[in-house]
Amino acid sequence: MMNDKDSGVTVLTPDDDFCFDCHPGLNCFTRCCRNVHIFLMPYDIIQLKHGLAMSSKAFLQQYTYTLMGKNGLPVVGLKMNEDEQKTCPFLGDSGCSVYESRPWACRVYPLQPESTKITEQKGLGYYSIMDVPFCLGFESGATSTVKAWLDRQNVPIYEEMESLFKNITTASFLSDKKIENRQIQEMFFMACYDVDLFRQFVFETSFLQRFDINTREVDQIRHDDTALYRFAMKWIEFGLLKQQGLTLKPHVMAAKKQALGIH
């Protein structure tokens, strides 16, 4: 456990204990599900649309809104109900109706990451406790290590998937640039958030004729949304960041060189 003197925040390591529990018996139960701003990661949308048995397009249209980030890339937020308390659309009489598919932001509560890009690259995770005055869960007496809590909430797989996304959105290439090309913005949105449309793009256009992708991976992305998401991140890295995650087929590369006058 460390104390950040500049911010006054107590930073917890994975092995540190903290006190928290949440259950329907608390008077504050579900209060944290009201009037909140939740930005959804691509993997959140995959899990939610599966949990709700919806297409990604239908989920995005019904439950989300889109903003443009500082780098010009689209960011997706969860749309709250238009009632007085701005409740989460998935809040039911007995709590969260999509609990098994709930987003990363809900799983990690009441912790918040305090890691930097350097600590993440080294595989180190640090967290602090959110300042939520109304929450009675901190008085429950139940203690857990940070790691045990995150494991019970199935957070590690979400963080693994989020890291693929963050490798792109926090890339140094974008630190001093703003994407203003609408086509790039739309392709980014499709690849990150509209997984069903991206699958159509891969299999119903000339995509597979242009890229050299092994048969096993093609079979995986045809049916597995998580595999398709991993593939989409490689495609974005290739197209946006000019990284070598994908390889063009020889005849496509030759045509590009000829068009550029390279021999």
Alpha helices in the chain (DSSP H): 42-51, 56-63, 104-108, 117-121, 146-152, 155-169, 182-192, 195-203, 207-210, 215-223, 225-240, 250-260
Beta bridge pairs of residue 127: 12, 113
Residues 87 and 212 in one domain: no
Of the candidates 166, 195, 210, which is a domain's last residue? 166
Which pLDDT band holds residue 5 (cuts at 50, 70, 90)? very low
Same domain, 140 and 242: no
**Residue at 241: amino acid letter:** L
Residue 146 lies in a domain: yes
> Is there a domain that residue 42 lies in?
yes
- Whether residue 171 is contained in a domain is answered as no
pLDDT at 255 over 90: no
Both tokens of 91, joined, read: 């809040």
Across the range 91-107, mean pLDDT stands at 95
**Domain co-membership, 252 together with 148:** no
Whether 136 and 43 share a structural domain: yes
Quickly state the pLDDT bin for 174 (edges 50, 70, 90).
Answer: confident
Tell me the C-alpha distance between 157 and 33, whole Å: 23
Question: What DSSP letter does each residue of 17-40 carry, written as one string?
Answer: EEE----TTSTTTTGGGBS---EE
The confidence score (pLDDT) of residue 3 equals 54
154 and 250 belong to one structural domain? no
Domain count, the chain: 2
Domain membership flag for residue 14: yes
Q: Is residue 172 one of the residues assigned to a domain?
A: no
Residues 6+ apart with CB under 8 A from 18: 12, 111, 129, 143, 144, 146, 149
Domain that holds residue 59: 2-166
Q: What is the side-by-side strand order in the sheet with 39-40?
A: 39-40, 74-78, 64-68
What average pLDDT does range 80-102 have in this prediction?
94
Of 123, 147, 166, the residue at which a domain comes to its end is 166
